[in-house]
Amino acid sequence: MITGKKEPDEIIKSLLEYFPEARIVLTLGGDSAVYADKDTKITQPVFKVNAVDTTAAGDTFTGDFLAGIIEGMPVADILRMSAKASSIAVTRKGAIPSIPYRNEVKY
């Protein structure tokens, strides 16, 4: 909504024009997630699972992503970990109870 664009590549391009030092993460629901900065673009596909409740998927992804940044992990590893955590979360009912513990997320 910020950019007025609809396609992920267009959104990223527009955001980087406005904020050239930004590090951008777009979650694209059941499709993928994309990280981009001025030098890098990484796409992380989803892990296919039988979803029962998507309530906490985005929050789980974001929380794991931020934890990885704080820990200084490489972005590709963070994306993979975050996608796996979200994939686990959607296989469980509820919000907080669905969020996996770190030891459940093998990356």
Which position among 9, 39, 53, 59 bears the catalytic label? 59
Please give the angle made by the CA atoms of 103, 35 and 104, to the nearest 5 degrees: 10
Closest CA to 101 of 66, 89, 93: 89
Catalytic annotation present for 31? no
Instruction: Please name every residue paired with 32 in a beta bridge, in sequence order, or none if there are none.
Output: 45
Task: Return the active site residues.
Answer: 59
